[in-house]
């Protein structure tokens, strides 16, 4: 959570910081602030968005300077107000710091500093860190880099930081533990970002800091990378990024979320690229090929994840047990990490994550590793911490997802999970050839099939008009559609703030049916395969109690059409393919409802794109 940017070089820094912060607003948008150095230190901060911060710069004189740092905040310690905004400045006014993460032992550090006479203006853990650095620097009479090093040795928690000392204004110190940090390398200039998006337009040469690494970036001496644990110098690895700048622009759509929904055919093609070459050729997922012995001998597969990625994992349970016949367990990473789960040698643990930075998932990985599990990571962000912390894995290659509500990343996750299940199941000889052929053909065609679902967007937009006043929704699905019902409800909650719950359709009668009345819209997935008639019975039960039904049906359906107030058709397909398609209208329905209600679609209140705190 929170985004940090920085620049040190010869260009005017103001625009670099402001445009960079706007690109990182998906990480938090409670407040924003910048530090710019031009002969003296200028700090400006504001509650709210980067645009609010911009409005404080009325004087062009303030925009001068070619060294600076910025921060966009998702509040953890202290209210989202101006005082708690970053950058935080030390008591002497010399050192400033931006921080993403949580200093868990800030209380004890703060009480030591209080005894020494330090004064704190904010409620943040970050202000404690900047004063700790100052205290060490002054007492030991050492440079900023060394002082930061000693301070971080005392810190328990997670951080990505950038620190600046106005008494030596040619240097920025950065360090990372648990929270992401990337450094863009230009010609005699360096950029800093929580991810590379702030500097992609200037340079594609990037150093991703690893945990316990610290970079001393000096305008004259260049960049020195140090290992904090070993206190030694390391050679930086500069990666050539392949990211496309258009990926992080809206491309004519009103919102990133809508753009990302419509990008799904292309994103899934990218997920399959090099892996699903043609339905007649074997699936090629190199990490499965290389580690197939692990899957062959696996006693159990455990998925760990959060939010939408947890819904993808839940669908994977259905896919894997059906096609591979190995027992599967799906756990919320946040629960898994704090109980004492039984993990045996021979268990494969599969973390699923879009960002690859989710703190709970990372902690669960650590725990599973200690217990001897084999870790196979599935994430979207290349080079992310989860990708690096797992034994092996596979990228979803959905492309940058900026909208806080996950859409294309989810579709790519579930398409990839089905592909994996088909690959492993076939290698183990657990799928009938005819069945395999049918599913693989439909899966290969899914980018095209999704296009046909997207072409119904106007119909879905029209339906959305009728539900703007609703304050509750129920989403129902059976079997493969149950995780999709959960995901549909989460999407609606996140961006429209309408309360929504997802249930397995058959669970209705065990309680939730009490909620049904004429004010309750029920979205029910009723495609024409195995449980169809049971779902039709559920629809009748809802109708009998006056509920308003929006049904996702297979094309040509006549039965449900007679019962539902609104229907949205998806193409006829195998029941394993249907959830991938059924999810698309639910994304669009949430989008149109939220948009018509005037909600902030890409940056819903209280949320952030990657949850790097507990
Ligand atoms: O980056 P991750 O997939 O690990 O993130 C997990 C959740 O925080 C995330 O899916 C969240 O629920 C999204 N806002 C869903 O739209």
Nearest ligand 1 atom to the CA of 305 is 4
Do 460 and 448 lie in one domain? The reply is no
Sheet of 548-554, strand order: 499-504, 472-477, 521-526, 548-554, 566-570
CA dihedral for 380, 440, 308, 491, sign (positive or negative): positive
Distance 542 CA to ligand 1 centre (A): 31
Q: What 3-state DSSP class applies to 368? A: helix
Do 477 and 514 lie in one domain? The reply is yes
Tell whether ligand 1 has an atom less than 6 A from the beta carbon of residue 354. yes
Nearest ligand 1 atom to the CA of 355 is 1
Do 187 and 255 lie in one domain? The reply is no
Last residue of a domain, one of 421, 454, 487: 454
Q: What is the pLDDT of residues 339-383, one digit of tens each?
A: 888 998 889 999 999 999 898 999 999 999 988 899 999 999 877
Q: Quick one: average pLDDT of 511-520?
A: 90
Q: What is the DSSP string of 107-171?
A: HHHHHHHHHTT----SS-HHHHHHHHHHHHHHHHT--HHHHHHHHHHH--EEEEEEEEETTSTTE
Q: What is the CATH number of the domain that holds 84?
A: 3.60.20.10
Strands 95-103 and 88-89: antiparallel
Tell whether ligand 1 has an atom less than 6 A from the beta carbon of residue 380. no
Nearest ligand 1 atom to the CA of 361 is 4
Quote the pLDDT of residue 247. 63
Q: Quick one: average pLDDT of 282-298?
A: 94
Do 220 and 322 lie in one domain? The reply is no
Do 433 and 477 lie in one domain? The reply is no
Do 53 and 170 lie in one domain? The reply is yes
Do 87 and 216 lie in one domain? The reply is yes
Residue 609 predicted with pLDDT over 80 = no
Q: Which of 2, 206, 306, 412 is catalytic?
A: 2
List CB contacts of 26: < 8 A, sequence separation 6 or more.
Answer: 3, 402, 403, 404, 602, 603, 608, 609
Concerning whether 2 is annotated as a catalytic residue, the answer is yes
Do 447 and 570 lie in one domain? The reply is no
Distance 20 CA to ligand 1 centre (A): 22
Last residue of a domain, one of 198, 231, 247: 247
Nearest ligand 1 atom to the CA of 381 is 1
Do 80 and 202 lie in one domain? The reply is yes
508: confidence class by pLDDT, cuts 50, 70, 90: confident
Domain containing 564 equals 456-614
260, 393, 406, 610: which to mutate for ligand 1, most atoms within 8 A of CB? 406
Q: What is the pLDDT of residues 159-184, one digit of tens each?
A: 999 999 999 999 999 999 988 899 99
Q: What is the pLDDT of residues 82-133, one digit of tens each?
A: 899 999 999 999 999 999 988 989 999 999 999 999 999 999 999 999 999 9
Closest residue by Cα to residue 193 from 10, 383, 63: 383
Residues 380, 414: contact at Cβ < 8 Å? Answer: no
Q: Which of 45, 110, 259, 609 is catalytic?
A: 609
Q: What is the CATH number of the domain that holds 405?
A: 3.40.50.10490
Mean pLDDT score of the chain: 93
412, 611, 612, 613: which to mutate for ligand 1, most atoms within 8 A of CB? 611
Concerning whether 456 is annotated as a catalytic residue, the answer is no
Quote the pLDDT of residue 98. 97
Do 384 and 431 lie in one domain? The reply is yes
Last residue of a domain, one of 230, 247, 264: 247
List CB contacts of 108: < 8 A, sequence separation 6 or more.
Answer: none
Residues 190, 7: contact at Cβ < 8 Å? Answer: yes
Q: How many structural domains comprise the chain?
A: 3
Do 462 and 448 lie in one domain? The reply is no
Number of Cβ atoms within 10 Å of the Cβ of 210: 15
Q: What is the pLDDT of residues 559-591, one digit of tens each?
A: 999 999 999 999 999 999 999 999 999 999 999
Quote the pLDDT of residue 248. 64
List CB contacts of 131: < 8 A, sequence separation 6 or more.
Answer: 90, 91, 113, 118, 120
| Tokens coding 528 | 């024409």
Quote the pLDDT of residue 245. 62
Distance 609 CA to ligand 1 centre (A): 7
Q: What is the pLDDT of residues 374-408, one digit of tens each?
A: 999 999 987 788 988 999 999 999 988 989 999 99
Tell whether ligand 1 has an atom less than 6 A from the beta carbon of residue 179. no
Q: What is the pLDDT of residues 50-61, one digit of tens each?
A: 999 999 999 999
Helix axes 433-444, 408-427, angle to 10 degrees: 160
Do 447 and 474 lie in one domain? The reply is no
Residue 156 predicted with pLDDT over 80 = yes
């Amino acid at each position: 959570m929170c985004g940090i940017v920085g620049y040190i070089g010869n260009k005017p820094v103001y625009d670099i910081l402001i445009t960079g912060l706007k690109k990182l607003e998906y990480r938090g948008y409670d407040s924003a602030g910048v530090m710019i150095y031009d002969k003296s230190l200028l700090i400006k901060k504001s509650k709210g968005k980067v645009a609010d911060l911009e409005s404080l710069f009325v004087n062009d004189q303030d925009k001068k300077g070619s060294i600076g740092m910025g921060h966009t905040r998702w509040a953890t310690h202290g209210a989202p107000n101006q005082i708690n905004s970053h950058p935080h400045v030390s008591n002497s006014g010399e050192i400033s710091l931006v921080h993403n993460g949580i200093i868990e032992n800030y209380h004890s550090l703060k009480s030591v500093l209080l005894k020494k006479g330090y004064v704190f203006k904010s409620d943040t853990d970050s202000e404690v860190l900047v004063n700790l650095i100052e205290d060490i620097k002054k007492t030991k009479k050492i440079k900023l880099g060394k002082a930061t090093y000693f301070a971080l040795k005392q810190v328990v928690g997670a951080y990505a930081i950038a620190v600046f000392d106005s008494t030596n204004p040619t240097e920025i110190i950065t360090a990372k533990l648990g929270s992401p940090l990337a450094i863009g390398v230009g010609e005699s200039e360096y950029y800093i970002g929580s991810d590379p998006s702030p500097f992609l337009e200037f340079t594609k040469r990037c150093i991703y800091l690893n945990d316990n690494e610290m970079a001393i970036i000096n305008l004259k001496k260049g960049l020195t990378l140090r290992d904090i644990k070993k206190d030694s110098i390391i050679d930086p690895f500069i990666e050539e990024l392949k990211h496309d700048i258009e990926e992080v622009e809206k491309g004519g759509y009103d919102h990133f979320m809508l753009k990302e929904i419509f990008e799904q055919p292309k994103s899934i093609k990218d997920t399959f690229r090099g892996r699903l070459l043609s339905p007649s050729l074997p699936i090629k997922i190199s990490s499965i090929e290389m580690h197939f012995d692990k899957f062959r001998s696996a006693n159990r597969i455990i998925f760990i994840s959060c939010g939408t990625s947890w819904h993808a994992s839940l669908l994977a349970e259905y896919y894997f047990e059906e096609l591979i016949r190995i027992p599967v367990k799906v756990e919320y990473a946040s629960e898994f990490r704090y109980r004492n789960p039984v993990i045996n040698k021979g268990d494969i643990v599969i973390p699923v994550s879009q960002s690859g930075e989710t703190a709970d998932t990372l902690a669960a990985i650590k725990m599973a590793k200690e217990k001897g599990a084999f870790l196979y990571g599935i994430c979207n962000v290349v080079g992310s911490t989860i990708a690096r912390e797992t034994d092996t894995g596979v990228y979803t290659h959905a492309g940058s997802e900026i909208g806080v509500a996950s859409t294309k990343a989810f579709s790519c996750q579930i398409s990839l999970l089905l592909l994996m299940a088909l690959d492993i199941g076939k290698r183990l000889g657990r799928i009938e050839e005819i069945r395999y052929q049918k599913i693989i053909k439909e899966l290969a065609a899914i980018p095209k099939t999704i296009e046909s679902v997207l072409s119904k967007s106007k119909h879905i937009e029209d339906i959305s008009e009728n539900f703007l006043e609703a304050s509750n929704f129920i989403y129902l699905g059976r079997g493969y559609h149950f995780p999709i019902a959960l995901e549909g409800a989460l999407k609606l909650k996140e961006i429209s703030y309408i309360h929504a719950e997802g249930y397995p359709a058959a669970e209705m009668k065990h309680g939730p049916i009490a909620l049904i009345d004429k004010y309750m819209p029920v979205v029910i997935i009723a495609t024409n395969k195995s449980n169809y008639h049971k779902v039709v019975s559920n629809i009748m039960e809802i109708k009998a109690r006056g509920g308003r039904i929006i049904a996702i049906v297979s094309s040509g359906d006549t039965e449900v059409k007679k019962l539902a107030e609104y229907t949205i058709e998806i193409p006829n397909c195998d029941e394993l393919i249907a959830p991938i398609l059924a999810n698309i209208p639910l994304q669009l329905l949430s989008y149109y409802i939220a948009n018509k209600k005037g909600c902030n679609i890409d940056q819903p209140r209280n949320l952030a794109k990657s949850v790097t705190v507990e």
